[in-house]
Amino acid sequence: MIVEVLQNVFSWQVLLAIFAGVSAGIAIGAMPGLTSTMGIALLMPLTFKFEPQVGMMLLIGEFVGGIYGGSITAILINTPGTSSAAATTLDGFPMTKRGEAGRALGISTIASATGGMISGLMLVFIAPTLASMALKFSAPETFALAFFGISIISSISANSLTKGLISGLLGLMVSLIGMDNISGYSRFTFGSIFLMNGLSFIPVLVGLFAMSQCLTSVEELMVNNSIDTKSLKRAKISMKDFLKILPTAIRAGITGTFIGIVPGAGGDISAFVSYDMEKRLSKHPELFGTGIPEGIAAPEASNNGTTGGALIPLLTLGIPGDSNTAVLLGALMMYNLTPGPQLFVENAVTVKTLFVGFFIANFVMLTLGLSNVKNFVKIVNIPKQVLVPIVMVLCVIGSFAINTNFDDVIVMFVAGIVGYVLSKGGFPLSPIVLALILGPMAEGNFRRSLVMSHGSYSIFFTRPIAATFIFIALISLFWPIIKTAVKQIKQARMSK
Amino acid sequence: MIKISRIFSSLMILLGIYVIFTAKQFPAGTNGVLGPGFFPILLGVLLIALSIIQIVHTRHDKVEENEKTDPATIKRILISALIIIAYMVFINILGFLISTPMFLFSIMFYFGVRKKSTLILTSLVTTAVLYFVFLKFLSVSLPTGIFF
């Protein structure tokens, strides 16, 4: 097995895929306005003919690089390239203003790679254990898990709970289209054969995350984010800085991994949590925000820590924690690698290849970050008026290529318009994708459970694991309401 | 200003009603087993309820920052969308190789790019690279149109 895995990983295709994925990820992540989710969605149509491990490594490389890439613009121009790098601006930009941009980039690169490697280690140790536990799951447990996954929608729609839930319900409704996989009855297909198998997932993703983002970019075409490349020196790291940030990076990496495991919390949250934690542990908390190494290392190690963490529930349970992993889940399904405990039995070699590949991706990220930041900055300087049209072409061609079916292009475009209007109205988009994926899993297993129990609903409460997950899901669903209620009670007491 | 979220929530109520009425005609489940209509109806009811809450809710809060859009921007978005639709139509008639550079050239021009070298080189090089990657490297067929 080990020989097979190593042969897989060190084949030129996989290594090239990792290299290409990480490079693309850094570039896309660094560009404000382009998210790593969009990058994964756009690359997916390019990879569907590859061997599963080659394609998946390209996409995972994109994920890893994308989370890191956001820090480059956060440090250089105070604009996070991705939302997970928002906390990096706090100390990254002040350091740049002092003329130490190279030092800031070096620290963020080292910290990101450290965080990523730690999360990789935890992925390797936790995932197989969790998978073997999940092997015993049957329909009620799987329903409970899917329900739990859907309940996360309320925690990711922090700004407006109702809007998030409406997005989620829209996703669930869209997931109903097609043949009901229990009774075989066609639902909402309008007599179209194209809709019998449901809407194809990838065009919907490309529309929601890439096309809608293009339209949003059209609004701000004139915003110029260009960076002066002449004055920029290489990223560098001194031994002193390295030793200084190492404890921070390790702590933040571990924190990030655990936050990544919890579905619903991604790199943006973990970065702020770790930043805050380091500030509290520090002997000189007042220096945070003035451009100190720990202030860059903490968020960067933490957000890259979430990458490996988020892969744990994705691979073992098939539950995506955020939009990045939701898109990766779509990719796994594209390769017929159904995520879940069975994956670790049936595709053990592929899974182990992904594990080893994950470390290599982090290593590639480290090397590219230390040696090549200047070239990535040049890509960021491509004007939006040129970049957005190219991305639009990729959206159209990519969704056509998946099934060489033009109807998919129309699906993509409609999803793009809907996604754009929704995000204008303040409706979050990631609940749609979570619901789209988990909806069929929840519905199918719910009904299958009732078949098992001959129609008795007690099956969901008498099985301990299922009951636990349903309980956690209910709490997570109503958490925002509980939280406000608790707050009001506290305030009422205070005013007395 | 009319709020997007209110219009959208109203549309969602209509969608909910449509889904419920359609799902009512689905075959019923037998001996306690849920039929294909159960979930759609449940979701429809929830969607209508939440949309009503949302509409009532919007009345109270102020227009959110990202909802403010000036007419010029709306026009730009609409025209960009129309150019994309035109591209999607032309790609079926003229094929990928001719319609893609046309699309890139016109939309970049619309976005304000005036440098001739940028306009021409980006259009041609992007088309050539994508053609090579999809057709030769990935052996995926691209739309050829009706003439070729």
User: What digits encode the pLDDT tens for the residues A381-395?
Assistant: 888 889 899 999 999
Contact present, A370 and B112 (Cβ < 8 Å): no
Q: Which residues of A touch B103 (CB under 8 A)?
A: 389, 392-393
Q: A392 and B53 in contact by Cβ < 8 A?
A: no
Same domain? For B76 and B18 the reply is no
Same domain? For B11 and B31 the reply is yes
Same domain? For B62 and B42 the reply is yes
Q: Tokens standing for A374?
A: 């200047």
Contact present, A442 and A143 (Cβ < 8 Å): yes
CA A257 to chain centre: 13
Q: Which residues of B touch A410 (CB under 8 A)?
A: 88
Give the three-state DSSP class for A243: helix
Same domain? For B84 and B128 the reply is yes
Q: Which residues of B touch A139 (CB under 8 A)?
A: none
- Cross-chain CB nearest to A221 (options B47, B111, B122): B111
In angstroms, the CA A446 to CA A485 distance is: 31
pLDDT above 90 (res B104):
yes
Residue A186, phi then psi, degrees to nearest 5? -80, 125
Q: A246 at the B interface (CB within 8 A)?
A: no
Sign of CA dihedral A128, A130, A136, A139: negative
pLDDT above 70 (res B148):
no
Same domain? For B44 and B88 the reply is no
Q: For chain A, positions 165-204, list CB contacts with chain B under 8 A.
A: 165-166, 169-170, 172-173, 176, 180, 182-183, 185, 187-188
Q: For chain B, positions 89-108, list CB contacts with chain A under 8 A.
A: 91-92, 96, 100, 103-104, 107-108
Q: Which residues of A touch B112 (CB under 8 A)?
A: 221-222, 385
Q: Which residues of B touch A187 (CB under 8 A)?
A: 23, 26, 36, 40
Supply the pLDDT for residue A115. 95
For residue B144, being part of any structural domain is answered with no
Same domain? For B45 and B80 the reply is no
Mean pLDDT across the stretch B5-33? 83
Regions in chain A scoring below 50 on pLDDT:
none
Q: Tokens standing for A376?
A: 């990535």
Supply the pLDDT for residue B65. 46
Question: In total, how many domains does chain B have?
Answer: 2
Q: B34 and A422 in contact by Cβ < 8 A?
A: no
Q: A420 at the B interface (CB within 8 A)?
A: yes
Same domain? For B40 and B62 the reply is yes
Each residue of A219-275: pLDDT tens digit? 877 666 677 766 676 777 888 888 889 999 999 999 999 999 887 777 888 999 999
Q: Report the DSSP beta bridge partners of residue A187.
A: A178
Give the three-state DSSP class for A172: helix
DSSP A86: G
Supply the pLDDT for residue B64. 52
Q: Which residues of A touch B145 (CB under 8 A)?
A: none
Supply the pLDDT for residue A158. 62
In angstroms, the CA A157 to CA A170 distance is: 14
Q: B54 and A162 in contact by Cβ < 8 A?
A: yes
Residue A179, phi then psi, degrees to nearest 5? -75, 130
Buried b (16+ CB within 10 A) or exposed e, A5-33: beebbeeeebbebbbbbbbbbbbbbbbbb
CB-neighbour burial class of residue B75 (10 A; exposed 0-12, middle 13-18, buried 19+): exposed
Supply the pLDDT for residue A137. 85
Q: Tokens standing for A193?
A: 């054969």
Q: How many CA atoms lie within 13 A of A487 on its CB side?
A: 6
Q: Which domain holds residue B35?
A: 4-67
Q: Which of A110-124, B38-52, B59-73 has the lowest mean pLDDT?
A: B59-73
Q: Report the DSSP beta bridge partners of residue A186.
A: A179
Contact present, A423 and A315 (Cβ < 8 Å): no
CB-neighbour burial class of residue A494 (10 A; exposed 0-12, middle 13-18, buried 19+): exposed
Same domain? For B41 and B17 the reply is yes
Q: A187 and B143 in contact by Cβ < 8 A?
A: no
In angstroms, the CA A244 to CA A399 distance is: 47
3-state secondary structure A257-299: HHHHHCCCCCHHHHHHHHHHHHHHHCCCHHHCCCCCHHHHHHH
In angstroms, the CA B34 to CA A447 distance is: 6
For residue B52, being part of any structural domain is answered with yes
Q: A406 and B92 in contact by Cβ < 8 A?
A: yes
Supply the pLDDT for residue A312. 93
Cβ neighbours around A386 below 10 Å, total: 17
Q: Which residues of B touch A162 (CB under 8 A)?
A: 50, 53-54, 57
Q: B76 and A218 in contact by Cβ < 8 A?
A: yes
Contact present, A325 and A59 (Cβ < 8 Å): no
Categorize the per-residue pLDDT at B1 as very low, low, confident or very high, splitting at 50, 70 and 90: very low
Domain end call among B24, B43, B67: B67
Contacts of A327 (CB under 8 A, 6+ apart): A37, A40, A41, A44, A59, A205, A209, A433
- Cross-chain CB nearest to B73 (options A219, A386, A454): A219
Select from A373, A442, A480, A94 the least CA-distant residue to B38.
A442
For residue B53, being part of any structural domain is answered with yes
Mean pLDDT across the stretch B40-66? 78
DSSP B62: P
Match 């660094």 to its residue by tokens: A30
Q: B47 and A173 in contact by Cβ < 8 A?
A: yes
Same domain? For B110 and B53 the reply is no
In angstroms, the CA A135 to CA A314 distance is: 15
Q: B33 and A180 in contact by Cβ < 8 A?
A: no
Distances (CA, A) of A282 to A295, B93, B106: 10, 65, 56
In angstroms, the CA A104 to CA B27 distance is: 64
Give the three-state DSSP class for B96: helix
Q: A393 and B103 in contact by Cβ < 8 A?
A: yes
Supply the pLDDT for residue A492. 83
Same domain? For B97 and B113 the reply is yes
